[in-house]
Amino acid sequence: MTVNRTILGRPLRGVAFDVFVSGTVVLFGLAGVVAQPGGWKATLVGVAMAVALLFRRSHPTAVAAAVGALGLVQVIAGWGPLPFDFAVLVALYSVVKYADRLRDGLLAGIGALVGAALAAIQTEGAGPWWGRAIYFGLVTAATWLIGLNVRTRRLYVLSLEERAATLEREREAEARAAVAGERARIARELHDVVAHSMAVMIVQADGARYMLDRDPETARQAVKVVADTGRQALEEMRRLVSVLREPAPPEPAAADAGPDDATAGPGDGTVGGDPEHRRLALAELPALLDRFRAAGLRVRHTVRGDAPPLPAGLELTVYRLVQEALTNALKHAGVGAAVELTLEHTADAVVVRVVDDGRGRPVVAPAPSGGHGLLGMRERVGVYDGTLTAGARLAGGWQVEARLPLPAGTAPAEVIAA
């Protein structure tokens, strides 16, 4: 993990580098205090430049103006170029790189070129003064261009970071919207399950009333069915309310992150879509598998253990998990992929496992991208306090496994006609 140390709200590395640059300017000023023109006065000018450079990142334009003014004082005093004058180049580079507007850098560059010409005139040496002016001008122009190049790269990196942050926010918003939509869909389906249970209870209660005098034993069994169905309906109602009240945001997909997941369901046009108001059960699972086989998947179905009668809501959850996992396999593994579907029934849970080999070919009409299948499956499994794992396999392909605990007291619900 990278730790970014700061001092006074600024990165420690940047502060240390600025102190080093300013210290170098001070050393050059002190080193020439005896021999340089101006003596201590010139050294004080160099120290003032060094102090100004400490703020070159936060106030680049002001620093460039201050250093330029000190350089003008040096020119008026007739001291000529001195070793600590490289502070002018540092200030020029800083204003080009860090200023909010490039116009400030252009003005600073023009001022630096004028200062270079004045310094060339005051410099004693062989050859014409304009030769020295050209040399100083080239050094100044090179510094300005380096600052411009670094500025361009810096702004490009900042734009990429801003774009990445925007995409991350959009992805989180889409995930929240997908979870909200999936919860609404789960709530509708659980509502249908509860409504069906209530209808069964009404039919059984009417049957018990009619059979109470003629066949008390049959009436007693009908009342038992009413009680058992009522318990299951109450449990499904509790789950329905918990789905509607759950405000928590979706968990980030880290360990199970992989190919984008396709959401299969009512009206989405993918393989396995079902009428929205049909109550699905595991008895319809073979027909669902046949539709996926017709679409090109080589699906093998295995059931392990004795399957107890499941509550209608739990059956619907298992059906939807299989549907979305197979849709995901068709989308990413492709046509011709081999898929192993296993339903394992234990004493306390039902386990759904879908494994594909990832060796299919691309589908002719691929499922729409940008689905939220894993999010939807995670929400459904969470309603029943189950666990979901998904990820790539070392041998190739993808695996989805969900474990759904059985509600306490799961027992057959016999239907008795009135």
**pLDDT-derived band at 128, boundaries 50, 70, 90:** confident
Q: Is 250 exposed, middle or buried (0-12, 13-18, 19+ CB in 10 A)?
A: middle
Q: Strands (DSSP E) along 311-410, which ranges?
A: 338-345, 349-356, 387-392, 398-405
Q: What is the model's pLDDT at position 258?
A: 40
Q: Which one of 4-13, 126-135, 151-160, 178-187 scores highest in mean pLDDT?
A: 151-160
Task: Provide the 3-class DSSP secondary structure of residue 219.
Answer: helix
Domains and CATH numbers, the chain: 6-124 (no CATH), 174-405 (3.30.565.10)
Q: What is the model's pLDDT at position 343?
A: 93
Question: What is d(CA 13, CA 136) in angstroms, rounded to the nearest whole number?
Answer: 31
Are 276 and 267 contacting, i.e. CB atoms less than 8 angstroms apart?
yes
The pLDDT tens digits for 337-390 are 899 999 999 888 999 999 999 887 765 544 444 345 777 788 888 888 899 999
**pLDDT-derived band at 194, boundaries 50, 70, 90:** low
Q: What is the model's pLDDT at position 403?
A: 93
Helix residue ranges per DSSP H, 246-344:
285-295, 312-332
Question: What is d(CA 172, CA 93) in angstroms, rounded to the nearest whole number?
Answer: 40
Task: Give whole-number Cα distances, 132 to 87, 122, 124, 141, in Å.
Answer: 19, 10, 10, 14
Q: 12-32 burial, b if ≥16 CB within 10 A, otherwise e?
A: eeebeebeebbebbbebbeeb
- 251, pLDDT greater than 50: no
Structure tokens at 302: 């295995």
CB atoms inside a 10 Å sphere around CB 360: 21
Are 335 and 360 contacting, i.e. CB atoms less than 8 angstroms apart?
yes
Q: What is the model's pLDDT at position 82?
A: 81
